Every structure is written in structure tokens, then in C-alpha cells.
Structure 1
Amino acid sequence: MLPNRQIKVEAKAALSGNWGIAIGIWVVYLVLGSAIEFTFIGPIILSGVFAFGFMAAYLTLVRTKSTSFETLFSGFSNFGTTCVAGILQTIFLTLWSLLFIIPGIVKTYSYSMTYYILRDNPNLSACEAITESRRMMNGYKGKLFCLDLSFIGWFLLCALTFGLLGLYVLPYYNAARARFYEDLKNKPTVEG
């Protein structure tokens, strides 16, 4: 796999000339996410649909160097599967987190590629996508964790600027994760 430093360089390259749309997608996703939090059933039903669209938008950006706001709503084209994937991820992560915090974190990384996989394989069921994410992440959870840790300074600066720097950092972070998936999908998995 590419070193995390190279993944970040390529993520920035994908964002070049696309910062406006990348920030816009993040803001719309944030506003929609906040709006559905005020309903009882909304977060349960729509979180997976919007998470899929959000990740699909950044995956499209990394692949084609462009994306659109319409991609943010692409989860509705496969509503049942993206909805069920969100519900199942929430259930599984809650159950793993009940055991202890560490298994919950490990499983969060295990399931982290689910929406990217669904974007590339819309014919998969939610369970199949989660299983494929677990398989794919065998041997690579630590690498993604290190990529996430490499953004900790940026996130601290976001806090110091009351979130303002997030307009730069969050698109960069999500593009880096999409680029991680692009590299990961062609790698052999590690057994165990």
C-alpha cells in the first residue's frame, strides 16, 4: 500500500480546484445531519443514506478530480441497502462497544469501508458489504488508524479556531480516507 504521506498528497491533489464543492458537500451533509437529528426516526433511517452519499462524493472526487452535490443524494438510488447498512453498522458497533471501548474502536475500523464498497458494488446487500469491509480491512486497520492519527494536529487546530479550520481540514481528511480505500481495494487481505 501507499505510505500514508502519499495518500495525503494525492488527496490534496484531488481537492485542487475542487475546494468549493468539497466544502459545500461537507456543509450540506452537516446541515442535513443536524436537521434529521431533531426527528426520532430520521437518524435511524437516513444516517446510512446520507453517509453513503457523502463518502460517494469524496470517492468520486478522488477518482475523477470532480464531484457534484447530486452525489450527496446518491444513497437514495439504493435506499434500502444504504439504510439497512447504516442501521446494521449502528447495531453492530453499539454491541461491540458494550463489551469494551477498544473492541468498538477496532470494529469501527473494520466496518469503515462499507459505503465505499456499496458505491462500487450496488448489487451487494448491506450484510455482504459489511462483511467485505471486515475482510478488506484485515491487516490494514492499524494503517488507517495511523492515517487518522496523522490528522490529530489538524483537529486540535479546528477546535482552537472554533471549527472554522474544519472547512479546510474535513474535506482533506475525507478525501484522504477515500484515497485510502482506492489503494486498499486492490490489495490482498491479510488472513487472521
Structure 2
Amino acid sequence: MELTISQIKKKSLASLKGKWGMGVGLTLIVFLITTIVPTIVEVFLSGGFSVWIDQTEPPLIADMVNLLISFLFIPMTVASYWFYLVIARWNDPKISDVFAVYKEWELSLKLIGTSILVGIFTILWSLLLIIPGIIKGISYSQVFFLLRDNPQLSALEAITESKIRMKGYKWKYFLLNLSFIGWAFIAIFTFGIGFLWLTPYISTANATFYNELIAPQDNEDAETPDLEL
């Protein structure tokens, strides 16, 4: 019997027991890295702090460099998803594993390329209407979990596999994430500090969703003969 949204959330909270500290620590580390590094780059390429503090817009070169840096952050972000998948599977993750992904440069390039493809496909669908773009974004939501369990898949195969396996689950995935909106408002009222705890909760819930509903699907039913996007 499939888990309900409430059961998924309860199971994610149970798996987080004793691991909240690591989740909060990882959230803080990732936030600091993705915030401080681009700021340092912008200050440096603007000609120093005194110039940067007075400027209304950063120089074009700073925007270009930070765009490149944002691509380099993708493997870290994906490895963070995998960190919470380890928790959802009742194992003990290590924060260092999130950054160890960069030791495998081929994997890192694959994750960057996959993320770019997902972004392009989602944007193209969004050009038609916002709703189709959202639906496709949800369809592609399991791509990186699937790559974690099936590293032999190419980027296009993982995207198609996610789309196939999410049939019948898109609405539940949407409602699962929507159910956190109240907590998000509370986190905002705490000047964002609450997100240090909310992010691990949401991430573990999404990992539990994958582990309980998507991963167990029979491989024969999840074959991808056509790369339909």
C-alpha cells in the first residue's frame, strides 16, 4: 500500500532523528558558499569594496563569472539531494561526501549537463504556458535521484525515466511540497533562520518520496525505449 503524504512526512521526520545537526550544518554551509563566493567575486571584479558598495549594477564580467560559478555549484547541490537520500534510507551520511563529488570530474560534468538540459526543457515548455512548464518540471524532479541509483543512464535517459516513473505521482509530489508552505511562512518570519531546519525536512521528505514510490518501480515497467521529452 502506497504511503500517503502524511506518512511520507512522518517517515522523513523519523529518519531525521539524530541527524538534524548534520542537516542544519549542511544547509548553512551550502548557503554560505553559494552566497559568499559570488559576493567576493563581484567585489573583486568591481574594483574593490568601496566601488562595489556604491555601484547600482555589477559589471558584466562579474555576472558572467558568477554564471559560470553557478554551474560549478550544481554537483554540490545534487550531492546534497543524495545526502538526504542516504538519511531517507536510514543510513549515516557524511557532509564531506557532498563535496567529494568533485573528485569525480566526469560525474560532475554529467550532473552539470543534465541540470542544464532539464532547465532548457522546462523553459521551453514554459514558453507555451506556465502550467505546462510546472508540470514538466515536476515530471523531471526525480532525475538526479535516478542518476544516483542508475549511474549508467545518460542525461536524456534519466530525464525520460523520470518522466515515465512520475506518471500518476505528479499531483502527490506537488501536494507534498505545497504542504510545507505554512512552515515556509514561519521560516520567513524568523528572518530566514527557520530554513536551516525546514530545508532538511523538505529535502528528506522528497528523498523519502523517491525511495518509497519511485525507486521501487519495476525496471521492466520503467524502460525507456523512446527519448520522449
TM-score normalised by length of structure 1: 0.90
- From the superposition, tell whether residues 182 and 36 of structure 1 become closer, same or farther in structure 2 (CA, over 3 Å): farther
Question: Which of 74-83 and 3-12 deviates more?
Answer: 74-83
Cα distance in structure 2, aligned partners of 1:100 and 1:33: 31
Match of 1:186 among 216, 220, 223: 216
C-alpha separation in 2, matches of 1:134 and 1:140: 10
Alpha-carbon distance in structure 2 between the residues aligned to 1:105 and 1:74: 32
Equivalent residue in structure 1 for 2:74, among 43, 48, 59: 48
Other-structure match for 2:29: 28
- Tell me the equivalent position of 2:95: 69
Name 2:3's counterpart in structure 1: 2
What's the counterpart of residue 106 of structure 1?
135
Gaps (5+ residues) in structure 1? none
Q: Are 2:145 and 1:119 equivalent residues in the alignment?
A: no
Residue type at the aligned position of 1:40? L
Aligned counterpart for 1:165 among listed residues 194, 203, 208: 194
Letter of the 2:79 partner, please give it. G
**Count of aligned positions:** 189
Cα offset, 1:62, TM superposition: 1.1
Indicate if the aligned counterparts of 1:106 and 1:141 stay in contact, CA closer than 8 A: yes
In the TM superposition, what are the counterparts of 1:13-24 in structure 2 within 5 Å?
13-24=14-25
Are the counterparts in 2 of residues 48 and 86 from structure 1 also a CA contact under 8 Å?
A: yes
Q: How far apart, in 2, do the equivalents of 1:12 and 1:65 lie?
A: 14
Cα gap change, 1:129 to 1:181, in 2 (>3 Å): same
Q: Distance in 2 between matches of 1:180 and 1:19?
A: 19
* Identical pairs, percent: 38
Give the counterpart letter for 1:56 in structure 2. W
Q: Is the 8 A contact 1:23 1:168 kept in 2?
A: yes
Of residues 94-103 and 64-73 in structure 1, the stretch that sits farther from structure 2 once superposed is 64-73
Shift in alpha-carbon separation, 1:137–1:61, aligned structure 2, 3 A: same
Say if 1:52 and 1:119, in contact at 8 Å, map to a contact too. Answer: no
Contact 1:47 1:86 in 2 (8 A): no
Is the Cα–Cα contact under 8 Å of residues 76 and 99 in structure 2 kept in the other structure? yes
**Corresponding residue number in structure 2 for 1:143:** 172
CA distance in 1, matches of 2:77, 2:132: 22
Tell me the CA shift for residue 73 of structure 1: 2.3
* Amino acid paired to 2:130: I
Tell me by how many angstroms 1:36 deviates: 5.1
Secondary structure of 1:64 counterpart = coil
Deviating 4+ runs (over 4 angstroms): none
Distance between the aligned counterparts of 2:211 and 2:91, measured in 1? Answer: 13
For the structure 1 residues 49 and 117, does the alpha-carbon distance in structure 2 shift closer, same or farther, using more than 3 Å as the test?
Answer: same
